[in-house]
């Protein structure tokens, strides 16, 4: 389950990178090059110009990072809840093989639930990136 979730998230992020982020990177580098071509500008003016060129990409990276962290936090909380339930079952006398099976089933459910959340997360990132452009 964990591998399927990881593969789905990586696929979604790679799609965003190809569809939106790569174009933003190209625009940032072209913009930065234009800043450097201004022979009349001071060193500070060129630096400020380059920073302005980098700002949209930095916002894009922040959007993607925040969404991935939020997703990971939710997945971690789900997994921790499974672990707590397993510990409680062991503490109340459950057999280890049975509790292990329950833990595995719970973790698989977490994975399946979060797998279904990946498209919505990707859409939220895509919409956030589109608002920058």
Q: Count the helix, strand and coil residues of the chain and give each as a percent rounded to the nearest 5.
A: 90, 0, 10
Domain of 59, in residue numbers: 1-131
CB-based contact 1:30 (threshold 8 Å): no
Q: Region 90-108: what's the mean pLDDT?
A: 92
Q: Are 124 and 15 in contact (CB under 8 A)?
A: no
- Give tens-digit pLDDT for 23-64: 999 999 999 999 999 999 999 999 999 999 999 999 999 999
Per residue in 60-76, pLDDT (tens digit) is 999 999 999 999 999 99
Yes or no: say if 63 and 125 are a contact pair by the CB < 8 Å rule.
yes
- In this prediction, residue 133 carries a pLDDT of 67
Distances (CA, A) of 132 to 52, 57, 110, 120: 13, 9, 33, 19
Number of domains in the chain: 1
């Amino acid at each position: 389950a964990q591998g399927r979730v990881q593969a789905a998230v990586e696929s979604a992020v790679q799609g965003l990178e190809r569809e939106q982020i790569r174009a933003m990177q190209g625009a940032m580098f072209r913009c930065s090059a234009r800043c450097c071509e201004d022979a009349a500008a001071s060193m500070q003016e060129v630096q400020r110009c380059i920073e302005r060129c980098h700002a949209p990409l930095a916002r894009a990276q922040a959007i993607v990072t925040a969404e991935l962290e939020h997703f990971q936090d939710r997945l971690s909380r789900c997994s921790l809840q499974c672990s707590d339930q397993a510990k409680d079952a062991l503490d109340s006398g459950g057999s280890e093989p049975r509790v292990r099976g329950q833990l595995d089933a719970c973790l698989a459910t977490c994975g399946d639930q979060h797998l279904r959340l990946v498209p919505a997360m990707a859409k939220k990132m895509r919409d956030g990136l589109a608002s920058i452009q």
